[in-house]
Amino acid sequence: MNLAKLALISLIIAMPIQAGEPDIDDEGNGILISELDAEGFGYLVDTVTKLCFAYQHTTFSGSTRTLVKIDCSNLKNRKEWKPILTWEK
């Protein structure tokens, strides 16, 4: 195998894999959750109360999900949430 082919194969293997849109799971009762990465960061939306949260799920000392309220209009900028956050302009 020549050097050019080897370099091309190495480049293809080393290229980051483009992840698709995160899945949004329906937890029931109007609660929707998406996890963005393996570190446990994601979003939680309550479609009944129309509240949005960013969260970090940790398992350091038990399983804990830390929530921070965020503006739903900002979350609507993520294309996977846009069709869900219908109450936001």
What is the predicted pLDDT for the residue at 3? 54
Instruction: Give residue 15's pLDDT.
Output: 36
Residue 42 DSSP class:
E
pTM of this prediction? 0.70
Instruction: Spell out the domain ranges in the chain.
Output: 23-89
Q: Is 31 exposed, middle or buried (0-12, 13-18, 19+ CB in 10 A)?
A: middle
Per-residue pLDDT of the chain (89 residues; tens, 9 = 90+): 565 544 434 434 433 444 567 889 998 899 999 988 877 899 999 999 999 999 988 777 667 778 999 999 999 999 999 999 999 77
